[in-house]
């Protein structure tokens, strides 16, 4: 299995980027990623440097062409070093009240994250940023779109699969921004940001013609949406799931809409930044009966 070092970092998804590595359809790859702060734990230094959130890549997948999709299976995600949460001025739901930089550096102890207060939380490592490269330049951090991006989906853990549309030859896949633990919304601005070693398996799905990211987690089928206005983004996510149930599962429109209401959840991964990623999640227990 090949290994891709976090030294191969990028801050912009660009169709002209040279591949950091080339793999074949179906290959396994171990990817090392930085934490979102690149090891810095001083809020003042972070503000001064205005870090953009590194991603490791890009990864060229032989045979991937526009109109295809990359199937990215997360075999394992292993956090490294000491995770950190950072309250930053102007970030989070309560930015008008919490105006000072405030770092919380934590430790890893077996399968738990240990806060300085002594509170212990079960580890739930998830990859926050996973993207193919669009046909135009796009920053890695705080942006998301049909290519994926900074989706901050806490369900994207080991055992999950993410499908991303291919827009440029080879796909030019990149990933980063691992969270040891994060809650939906990341209400204080970040998760427990950590560096990681991530084992992925990448497969080319020919002619899939996806309009945006989809995921299969151990418990849910998920479609992802995005927008600078949360309401329309949520409606778009619901519409995408209804369309999937109609076109790919053969349900009648009202039956599809009803199933989404009974066995589905709309959740916000992260908001109060320029782009808010939204996920519509449908129970696999329900879906597998169709």
What are the boundaries of each domain within the chain? 2-211, 219-287
Contact in structure between 180 and 171 (CB atoms under 8 Å)? no
Query: Which one of 3.30.750.24, 2.60.120.580, 3.40.50.2300, 2.40.128.20 gives the CATH number of domain 2-211?
Result: 2.60.120.580
Structure confidence at residue 51 (pLDDT): 67
Report helix, strand or coil for 240: helix
CA–CA gap between residue 67 and residue 64 (Å, rounded): 9
| Class of residue 4 by CB neighbours under 10 A (exposed 0-12, middle 13-18, buried 19+) | buried
41-73 residue pLDDT tens: 888 888 777 667 899 999 999 999 999 999 999
Q: Do domains 2-211 and 219-287 have the same CATH topology?
A: no
Calculate the alpha carbon distances from 227 to 25, 44, 135, 274 in Å: 32, 30, 19, 8
Q: What are phi and psi of 39, to 5 degrees?
A: 85, -10
Q: What is the pLDDT along the chain (290 residues), one digit of tens a residue?
A: 999 999 999 999 999 999 999 999 999 999 999 999 999 888 888 877 766 789 999 999 999 999 999 999 999 999 998 999 999 888 889 999 999 999 999 999 999 999 999 999 999 999 999 999 999 999 998 789 999 999 999 999 999 999 999 999 999 999 999 999 999 999 998 999 999 999 999 999 999 999 999 999 999 999 999 988 888 999 999 999 999 999 999 999 999 999 999 999 999 987 767 778 899 999 999 999 99
Determine the length of the chain: 290
CA–CA gap between residue 20 and residue 56 (Å, rounded): 8
For residue 244, how many other CB atoms are within 10 A of its CB?
Answer: 19
Q: In CATH, what number does 219-287 get?
A: 3.10.28.20
Structure confidence at residue 91 (pLDDT): 86
Element (H, E) at 246: helix 230-247
């Amino acid at each position: 299995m090949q290994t891709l070092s976090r030294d191969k970092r990028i801050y912009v998804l660009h169709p002209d980027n040279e591949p950091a590595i080339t793999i074949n359809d179906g290959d396994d790859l171990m990817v090392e990623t930085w934490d979102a702060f690149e090891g810095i734990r001083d809020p003042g230094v972070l503000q001064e440097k205005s870090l953009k959130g590194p991603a490791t890549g890009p990864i060229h997948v032989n045979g991937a062409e526009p109109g295809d999709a990359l199937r990215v299976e997360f075999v394992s995600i292993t956090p490294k070093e000491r995770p950190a949460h950072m309250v930053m001025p102007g970030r989070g739901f309560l930015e008008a009240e919490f105006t000072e930089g405030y770092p919380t550096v934590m430790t890893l102890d077996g399968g738990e994250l240990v806060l300085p207060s002594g509170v212990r939380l079960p580890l739930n490592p998830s990859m926050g940023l996973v993207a193919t490269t669009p046909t135009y330049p796009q920053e890695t951090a705080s942006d998301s779109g049909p290519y994926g991006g900074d989706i901050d989906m806490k369900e994207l853990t080991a055992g999950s699969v993410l499908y991303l549309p291919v827009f440029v030859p080879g796909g030019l896949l990149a990933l980063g921004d691992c969270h040891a633990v994060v809650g939906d919304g990341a209400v204080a601005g970040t998760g427990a940001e950590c560096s990681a070693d991530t084992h992925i398996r990448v497969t080319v799905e020919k002619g899939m013609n996806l309009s945006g990211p989809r995921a299969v987690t151990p418990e849910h089928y998920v479609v992802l949406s995005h927008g600078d206005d949360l309401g329309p983004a949520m409606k778009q996510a619901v519409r995408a799931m209804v369309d999937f149930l109609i076109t790919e599962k053969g349900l009648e429109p009202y039956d599809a809409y009803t199933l989404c209401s009974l066995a589905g959840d709309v959740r916000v991964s992260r908001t109060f930044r320029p782009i808010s990623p939204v996920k519509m999640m449908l129970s696999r227990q329900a879906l597998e009966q169709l």
